[in-house]
């Protein structure tokens, strides 16, 4: 038992700035308010009599809590989960008491909820929300591991590895130094592909990896592969899920470049617009052929799944056939480590 | 001493061709051989083989345009087809099929010993034709091939207006001319079903060559439908059994 516990990572602290988390919290607490109202007066007019004053308390309490917790996110980063829980309970108690007296000052009615009832509701709601978020994070972390494994299988096309090794062998005698560099790039790429990819990484890291990957492909494909990076407005410090771009580039090479003897261009545009980061990838399109389409869908689904695990509803991805070829667009919220 | 084994290297990736030539150079010390040409895609390979005689072709499977399996099929139309050794980085499907069909293949990166053994084996069966290749083909061919005066003529499938069965042959009709091939219309329909439409027991018409349908009424009969073609003045009859295609065509 002990050894199993040691292997379980501590639950990740919930991100209260995430729209998905906010919506879930608002939904749960209001749901509890409705239940509390129904429990005390299970008739329609009675329920409204109970729920409305409770709601007068719940809505500002939720607003204040979510705003404060989002603002305090930085302060919690790196802290133990236990400390976080204690801090949240203290914070909620303070918000509860302050709001109780605040509301009494504005609406001086005798029949408003009593302080003990307000505090009990606050603490129970806090407990349930934290419990739910904890459960959710536990449920998701194996899913992230799973997604990583799937990603691994879906992504590394054995073709790429064996063809790259052949390319390295072809350099061994003629240009040993270049062969060394290529093997180093290959090592870097596989270190990431086989590593633990649950943590977000700076965009710059992913960018370097992608460039190394494309250089390997260039070695095999020569003039057939042309790459145009548009990264003047790329936010290097933005946090992104690792391997968010590389599989898309691999797809672009596999479906867009390899099927033609003519040169083709892969166009990558990364930029930030206010608090969103955009990735737009374009490659030549040669129509669907059964198996190819399958592989592509698998890689896209994999990325979509990982985006959802990391950013919930705040990330989105779409792929479409445009006049200039096949295009994938991803947008994620702009976040940084500091 | 025997004449050196003449080898053609076909691969779309330059480093792969270079590597193969290096390994062949090493083998040359034990087995007399010479690389007479190399090609970067399937069509160029077929063109080269029409011009020169080659003993062994080292043929990559995954190539743009015409893949290696299709090249090997067209090669069987030569009087003296070269021995074929397939090369592939990874093709789970193809490798399984090769095992079943006893076709020789090498996995990249290619080892000297394996290549040498394959060449020695190939030397022993020069001039024999490969069979069963059609079972290895995963997708439809890009071309049909015809043997004429010992050479392979490639007919792009997209140029074909119709295919018509005649006794044991099938006539291929393009805007320029007609060719005869020895394949069954049913197999062609299975392979190119998306591209052709059966209008008659003995006739497949390219969907994108169909301009429309016309009803021809003759004296003393109900009349029948014919198909109007782009690129040919012929009016091919649509059999009674296939008349539902006219409705489908109008609907689409």
The DSSP 8-state label assigned to residue A79 in this structure reads: -
Q: How far apart are CA B114 and CA B166, in angstroms?
A: 46
Q: What is the per-residue DSSP string for B112-134? A: HHHHHHHHHHHHHTTTPPP--GG
| Number of neighbouring beta carbons within 10 Å of residue B74 | 25
Whole-angstrom Cα distance, residue B4 to residue A12?
69
Rounded to whole angstroms, how far apart are CA atoms B119 and B121? Answer: 5
pLDDT for the residue A112: 65
In tens, the pLDDT along A12-27 reads 788 888 888 899 999 9
The pLDDT, as a whole number, for residue B25 is 95
Inter-chain contact B22–A173, Cβ cutoff 8 Å?
yes
Which tens digits make up the pLDDT trace of B30-61?
999 999 999 999 999 999 999 999 999 999 99
The DSSP H or E segment spanning A225 is: strand A225-230
* Percentage of residues of chain B with pLDDT beyond 70: 96
Model confidence at A3, in pLDDT bands (50, 70, 90)?
very low
- Residue B41 contacts A where some CB pair is shorter than 8 Å: yes
Report the distance separating Cα A246 and Cα A243, nearest Å: 5
Q: Give the pLDDT mean for A254-266.
A: 92
Chain A residues interacting with chain B (CB cutoff of 8 angstroms): 157-159, 161-163, 165-167, 169-171, 173-174, 219-222, 258-261, 289-291
How far, in Å, CA of A78 to CA of A65, rounded? Answer: 20
Least confident of A46-60, A99-113, B34-48: A99-113
Which residues are within 8 A (CB) of A4 and not within 5 positions of it... i.e. 6 or more apart? none
Is B16's pLDDT higher than 50? Answer: yes
State ipTM.
0.80
B15, A159: Cβ pair inside 8 Å?
no
Which residue from B145, B187, B182 is spatially nearest to B167, judged by alpha carbons?
B182
Residues 6+ apart with CB under 8 A from A88: A69, A126, A130
On average, the pLDDT of chain A sits at 85
Return left, alpha or beta for B193; rule: phi > 0 is left, psi -120 to 50 is alpha, else beta: alpha
Indicate the pTM of the whole model.
Answer: 0.76
Only one residue has tokens 């930085």, namely A74
- Residues of chain B found within 8 Å of residue A255, distances taken between Cβ atoms: none
CB B39 within 8 A of CB B10: yes
């Amino acid at each position: 038992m002990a050894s199993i516990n040691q292997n379980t990572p501590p639950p990740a602290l919930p991100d209260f700035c995430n729209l998905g988390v906010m919506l879930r919290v608002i939904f749960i607490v209001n749901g509890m308010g409705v239940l509390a109202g129904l429990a005390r007066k299970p008739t329609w007019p009675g329920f409204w009599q109970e729920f409305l004053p409770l709601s007068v308390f719940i809505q500002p309490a939720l607003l204040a809590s979510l705003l404060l917790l989002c603002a305090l996110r930085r302060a919690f980063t790196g802290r133990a989960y236990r400390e976080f829980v204690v801090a949240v309970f203290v914070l909620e108690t303070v918000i509860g008491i302050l709001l109780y007296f605040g509301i009494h000052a504005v609406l001086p009615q005798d029949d408003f909820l009593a302080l003990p009832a307000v505090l009990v509701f606050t603490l129970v709601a806090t407990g349930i929300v934290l419990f739910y978020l904890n459960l959710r994070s536990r449920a998701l972390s194996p899913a992230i591991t799973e997604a990583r494994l799937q990603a691994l299988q879906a992504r590394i096309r054995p073709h790429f590895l064996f063809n790259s090794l052949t390319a390295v062998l072809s350099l061994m005698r003629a240009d040993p130094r270049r062969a060394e560099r290529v093997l180093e790039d290959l090592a870097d790429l596989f270190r990431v592909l086989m590593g633990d990819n649950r943590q977000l990484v700076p965009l710059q890291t992913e960018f370097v990896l992608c460039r190394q990957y494309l250089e390997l492909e260039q070695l095999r494909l020569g003039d057939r592969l042309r790459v145009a990076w548009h990264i003047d407005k790329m936010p290097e410090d933005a946090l992104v899920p690792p391997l968010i771009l590389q599989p898309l580039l691999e797809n672009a090479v596999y479906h867009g470049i390899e099927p033609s003897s003519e040169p083709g261009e892969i166009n990558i545009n990364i930029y930030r617009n206010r608090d969103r980061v955009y990735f737009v990838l374009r490659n030549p399109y040669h129509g669907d052929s059964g198996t190819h389409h399958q592989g592509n869908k698998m890689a896209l689904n994999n990325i979509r799944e990982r985006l959802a695990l990391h950013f919930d509803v705040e990330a989105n991805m779409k792929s479409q056939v445009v006049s200039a070829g096949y295009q994938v667009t991803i947008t994620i919220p702009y976040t940084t480590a500091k | 001493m025997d004449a050196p084994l003449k080898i053609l290297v076909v691969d779309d990736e330059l480093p792969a061709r270079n590597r193969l030539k290096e390994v062949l150079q090493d083998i040359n010390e034990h087995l007399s051989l010479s690389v007479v040409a190399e090609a970067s895609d399937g069509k160029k390979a077929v063109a080269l083989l029409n011009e020169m005689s080659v003993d062994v072709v080292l043929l990559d499977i995954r190539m743009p345009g015409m893949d290696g399996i299709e090249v090997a099929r067209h090669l069987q139309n030569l009087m003296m087809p070269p021995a074929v050794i397939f090369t592939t980085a990874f093709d789970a499907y193809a490798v399984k099929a090769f095992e079943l069909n006893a076709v020789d293949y090498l996995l990249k990166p290619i080892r000297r010993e394996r290549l040498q053994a394959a060449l020695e084996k190939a030397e022993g069966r020069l001039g024999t034709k490969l069979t069963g290749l059609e079972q290895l083909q995963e997708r439809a061919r890009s071309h049909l091939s015809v043997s004429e005066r010992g050479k392979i003529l490639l007919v792009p499938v997209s140029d074909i207006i119709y295919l018509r069965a005649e006794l044991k042959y099938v006539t291929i009709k393009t805007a320029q001319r007609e060719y005869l091939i020895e394949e069954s219309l049913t197999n062609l329909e299975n392979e190119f079903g998306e591209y052709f439409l059966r209008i008659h027991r003995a006739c497949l018409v390219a969907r994108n060559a169909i301009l429309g349908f016309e009803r021809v009424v003759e004296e003393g009969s109900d009349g029948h439908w014919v198909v109007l073609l782009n690129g040919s003045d012929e009016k091919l009859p649509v059999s009674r059994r296939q008349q539902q295609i006219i409705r489908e065509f109008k609907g689409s």
